């Protein structure tokens, strides 16, 4: 059997926001370890700290206490450059990229690898073209980013993250504002990245039904500041998820692991 590799782990991690006068803790005592080639869905109600968690493990905001380790290195001691070769991100919403074309947007992910002029080498171009064919967006390559539909834009932003060629990719609600078809397309794409490219994908979402279907593990952020790693294929994991999200309006169907409206 293959040795299990921990690509990212946390120890006694406490996350939140610090302002001059007060500290707002959104989750604490987080002890998780994420394995190679797995898909993790981060679920929890609004304000339970999903985005804060992703930004913290991406090294964008400091921890309140505790540590994050990426391939055994404490991210506190890593430069943005070092960390970006291991972790790439897709944030919620789209930046205003003006007249940038799809190929150029994905090329921005090569920042790490290009020299100070930013000119793409032949290798860099091959990487970008390879990603464009994985995403199946060859026909969009020359289009301006602003001309794309939201579903296409999200693919391009994922492509930009892939261009960093990092083993871990973090996505903050990538399907939040997409229509039903595009949600499924993005979810399947994420599964494909794990199965075919061996990446570790951590994705926050409110689409719990899909999350339970595509994920290897679920990170459940509760309103009592706790974070638990659950297996969506196991009975005890499912009952905890049911207790968290089901209420008088929502019923959970065990047989196909999905929530639906109670009428």
Partner 1 sequence: MKDSRRNLVLFIFLVSFCFSLFILRIFLGSVWLSPRGIFDFFSNNGSPAAFIFKVRIGRAIMALFAGAGLSVAGLLLQVYFRNPLAGPFVLGINSGASLGAALAIMVFSGIGGSFSGGIFLYHSGVLLFSCLGAFLMVVIVSIVSARVTSNTGLLIFGVLVGYFINAAISIFSYFSVPEKIKIYFLWAEGSFNPPNQGWMMNLFVAFVLFFIFFALFISKNLNIMKLGDNYAQSSGVNLVLAKVSIIIPAGFLSGIVTSFCGPIAFVGLFVPHVARMAFHTEDHRVLVPGVVVLGGIMALLADLVAQLPGLSYVLPVNPILTLVSAPFVLFLILKNGRTNG
List residues near partner 1 by CB under 8 A: 55, 58-60, 79-81, 83-85, 87-89, 91, 95-100, 104, 108-109, 111-112, 114, 116-118, 164
C-beta of 45 vs 80, nearer to partner 1: 80
What six digits make up the tokens of 234? 């196991």
Query: HSE on the CB side for 10, CA within 13 Å?
Result: 24
Closest approach of partner 1 to the CB of residue 156, in Å = 12
| Packed helices 122-134 and 150-162: angle between N→C axes, nearest 10 degrees | 140
Closest approach of partner 1 to the CB of residue 141, in Å = 13
Closest approach of partner 1 to the CB of residue 158, in Å = 13
C-beta of 15 vs 87, nearer to partner 1: 87
C-beta of 107 vs 244, nearer to partner 1: 107
| Packed helices 180-197 and 150-162: angle between N→C axes, nearest 10 degrees | 20
C-beta of 97 vs 197, nearer to partner 1: 97
Closest approach of partner 1 to the CB of residue 136, in Å = 23
How far is residue 100 CA from its own chain's centroid?
A: 24
Q: How far is CA 101 from CA 46, 117, 125, 145, 178, in A?
A: 34, 19, 14, 5, 21
């Amino acid at each position: 059997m293959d040795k299990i590799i921990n690509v990212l782990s946390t120890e006694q991690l406490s996350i939140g926001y610090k302002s001059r006068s007060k500290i707002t803790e959104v989750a604490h005592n987080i002890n998780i370890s994420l394995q190679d080639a797995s898909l993790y869905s981060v679920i929890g109600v609004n304000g339970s700290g999903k985005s804060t968690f992703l930004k913290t493990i991406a090294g964008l905001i400091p921890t309140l206490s505790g540590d994050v380790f990426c391939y055994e290195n404490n991210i506190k001691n890593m430069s943005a450059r070092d960390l970006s070769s291991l972790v790439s991100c897709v944030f919620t919403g789209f930046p205003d990229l003006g007249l940038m074309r799809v190929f150029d947007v994905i090329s921005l992910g090569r920042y790490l690898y290009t020299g100070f002029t930013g000119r793409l080498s032949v290798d860099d171009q091959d990487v970008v073209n390879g990603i464009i064919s994985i995403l199946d967006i060859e026909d969009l390559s020359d289009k301006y980013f602003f001309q794309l539909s939201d579903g296409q834009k999200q693919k391009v932003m994922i492509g930009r993250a892939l261009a960093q060629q990092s083993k871990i990719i973090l996505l903050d609600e990538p399907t939040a504002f997409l229509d039903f078809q595009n949600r499924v397309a993005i979810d399947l794409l994420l599964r494909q990245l794990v199965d075919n490219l061996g990446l570790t994908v951590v994705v926050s979402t409110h689409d719990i039904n899909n999350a339970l279907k595509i994920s290897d593990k679920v990170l459940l952020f509760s309103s009592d500041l706790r974070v638990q790693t659950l297996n969506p294929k196991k009975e005890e994991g499912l009952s905890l998820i049911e207790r968290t999200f089901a209420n008088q309006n929502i019923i959970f169907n065990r047989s196909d692991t999905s929530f639906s409206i109670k009428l």
